[in-house]
Structure 1
């Protein structure tokens, strides 16, 4: 290993207070280092301008496609064949750089590519996965609707069989990559049997219209869309054969809840790093801020939350590796980590004083972006109800 990579290890794991790096294999460490180098060399020098202008970072995406880091823990079809821990570390690092980049890859690999990989036909996998892992083709995942977010199981978009084709009608909202995607995984309810099915809708299909959602104060450098489907016709061979109920949809969503826990950890790492660096360098009343007892106490509490988040992520990766990760375990990790990340980032922003609201100090952007991660893939309240139903055996959902 080169001296540069050795130096990268120290930087990448500077917050490894519990010495978890000893549990990483050489391959996992390599993925971590390559992701961190991409973030440090390409993302951090430019992302504030993209975020400020609410501009999608096409140049960064093009460069990211050459790194061999896009594909989550999917195997074959040109995907990088990362294990769940490697995939989590990459998600963490990309989110440490920027929430928009982390979210873009989460939609691309965790939702769109995973839907095709787990539920698609062999022809669909061969056609879409290789160019998607290189980011030559962009994907999206259209589940959420204007009136159905947390209760997405009640989606109203319909699919009507018409000979060898299907006709889709409905509306979708908050669809990441929706305006730029080459292929969109659209979830719709079969008008015949009432079951939820998945369809691959390509860019330019007649009746498929998208509109970018503007005036966002979170994840500004990634674009979400409202989608209208008016008599959109897709062929039977574009239906996902493995998607025949909302349970199948839920298999994909369970994996992405784990990604949200890793995303939150990345955001918190960025906030803690910024606060620790700032308080050691910033001098007030003749001393570095870090010399004052109250500052050290607050930094230690941030570190305590951070290490707990790391342990959550490490364990859900281990469970995923053995096939033992359930949607409730992933939901608990998502609930815990997004909540703790919000607290860590609030402390970081406060410790930086007035400078905390400036993009140049890389805290306010993360503080705004964590709000979106806290909400998507199931809010804290929804995760609590799902886990609560399992541990008590009683459903507290209202009807």
Structure 2
């Protein structure tokens, strides 16, 4: 904190000295964003064609998928790109876009309350409890990070059954007595997403709102996961079953990372083609890592869609893709120089947001251990004393 505070004061001091001295830098007019990067301003009705498809991976898409891609791209460039940086800076969600987004018919989901303040990757040791009472259950505990939970109508809360010591699932209404939700402030990443802390104090859940058939993590896999593959007769521990349930979520995170990497590639390539230094454009820009992760992500999707994707493959995709996307975005921010930390150019925002994607749905290290277990058949995720 002292270093950050001192650096901040030093920056203010330099700024003050510049004002007093009347430096030429401060007398210069403010850089016009429409000149520096015209495709990132509200005045731009459409962006140029994507520059990140040099390998013509669109050929892997069906005509229906290509039409949907164009539809979503037009919505993002016309409705989202011109305003999203302001919402990111304010850490607010653009609620007015929800009705418009719903017309696309491309997304939907359930807000899941799983992670806790003291349990992230070690999700089999949840502290949130569910105690049986006449007519229902009493839930007590805390959850941390459920995205957009500040405006959710219902939650799926995972809690430890005090009678069986197994993890059960419960549907909790957003207005339930004893349920307290507070937004997590001061995030440096994914600022538009409304992550929250959830406190459950003697929250009553009727028997009808307990997920039927969900008596353990193994059962929750079948309910929670969209993945079509089955567990079969394999004797899985709770932790392994939990990881398997998250396979599809990790594929989604991998695809988000690919999108960020491709977007940064486009923005940087255009910026370097437009901006000149020393009388020449900064067009010597080679950033092709995202092509590899794009292809890998597509292959994982096809494996998943056909029911052949393993838990290890999902973890490999999440770990590899987010790592490469992180490197891509960092290089993109570097190539934009000072403009790389200004949200108007979108790359700085993507740089911060990528840190969250690299971390959640299993850290790089945890996913690497899952892949190693898939290859060797030996689990090393937990300390030896707990194996």
Q: Same fold (TM over 0.5)?
A: yes
Counterpart-to-counterpart distance in 2, 1:209 and 1:340: 38
Once the two structures are TM-superposed, the CA of residue 9 in structure 1 deviates from its matched residue by 11
- SS of match in other structure, 2:107: coil
Conservation of the 8 A alpha-carbon contact between 2:179 and 2:198:
yes
Residue 142 (structure 1) aligns with: 113
Confirm whether residue 256 of structure 1 aligns to residue 240 of structure 2.
Answer: no
The match for 2:139 among 168, 171, 177 is 168
Residue 394 (structure 1) aligns with: 378
Counterpart-to-counterpart distance in 2, 1:61 and 1:264: 22
Once the two structures are TM-superposed, the CA of residue 280 in structure 1 deviates from its matched residue by 0.9
Q: Cα deviations across residues 198-249 of structure 1 (Å, max 9, x unaligned)?
A: 1110111011111110011111111111111111111111111143222324
Counterparts of 1:369-384 in structure 2, within 5 Å, are 369-384=353-368
Counterpart-to-counterpart distance in 2, 1:368 and 1:283: 26
Residue 127 (structure 2) aligns with: 156
Residue 279 (structure 1) aligns with: 272
Counterparts of 1:181-330 in structure 2, within 5 Å, are 181-247=152-218, 248-249=220-221, 250=242, 252-290=245-283, 295-296=284-285, 299=286, 302-303=287-288, 305-330=289-314
Counterpart-to-counterpart distance in 2, 1:27 and 1:166: 46
Counterpart-to-counterpart distance in 2, 1:308 and 1:244: 41
Residue 344 (structure 1) aligns with: 328
Once the two structures are TM-superposed, the CA of residue 11 in structure 1 deviates from its matched residue by 2.2
- Whose radius of gyration is greater, 1 or 2? 2
The match for 1:23 among 48, 51, 60 is 60
Q: 1:254 to 1:243 in 2, by over 3 A?
A: farther
Q: 1:185 to 1:35 in 2, by over 3 A?
A: same
- SS of match in other structure, 1:184: strand
The match for 1:11 among 49, 53, 61 is 49
Conservation of the 8 A alpha-carbon contact between 2:147 and 2:196:
yes
Conservation of the 8 A alpha-carbon contact between 2:264 and 2:329:
yes
Residue 44 (structure 1) aligns with: 81
Conservation of the 8 A alpha-carbon contact between 1:9 and 1:33:
no
Give TM-score, length-normalised by structure 1. Answer: 0.76
Once the two structures are TM-superposed, the CA of residue 396 in structure 1 deviates from its matched residue by 2.1
Counterpart-to-counterpart distance in 2, 1:31 and 1:150: 35
Confirm whether residue 66 of structure 1 aligns to residue 103 of structure 2.
Answer: yes
Conservation of the 8 A alpha-carbon contact between 1:198 and 1:240:
yes
Q: 1:156 to 1:234 in 2, by over 3 A?
A: same
Give TM-score, length-normalised by structure 2. Answer: 0.79
Residue 225 (structure 2) aligns with: none
Counterpart-to-counterpart distance in 1, 2:378 and 2:190: 36
Q: 1:25 to 1:10 in 2, by over 3 A?
A: farther
Q: Which runs of 5+ in 1 are unaligned?
A: 1-7, 72-108, 113-139
Conservation of the 8 A alpha-carbon contact between 1:335 and 1:383:
yes
Confirm whether residue 354 of structure 1 aligns to residue 338 of structure 2.
Answer: yes
Conservation of the 8 A alpha-carbon contact between 2:311 and 2:374:
no
CA RMSD after TM alignment:
1.8
Q: Which runs of 5+ in 2 are unaligned?
A: 1-45, 222-241
Once the two structures are TM-superposed, the CA of residue 18 in structure 1 deviates from its matched residue by 2.2
- SS of match in other structure, 1:176: coil
Once the two structures are TM-superposed, the CA of residue 334 in structure 1 deviates from its matched residue by 0.6
Counterpart-to-counterpart distance in 1, 2:124 and 2:275: 51
Conservation of the 8 A alpha-carbon contact between 2:47 and 2:77:
no
The match for 1:55 among 78, 85, 92 is 92
- SS of match in other structure, 1:161: strand
Confirm whether residue 33 of structure 1 aligns to residue 4 of structure 2.
Answer: no
Counterpart-to-counterpart distance in 2, 1:9 and 1:21: 18
Counterpart-to-counterpart distance in 1, 2:328 and 2:277: 22
Once the two structures are TM-superposed, the CA of residue 320 in structure 1 deviates from its matched residue by 1.5
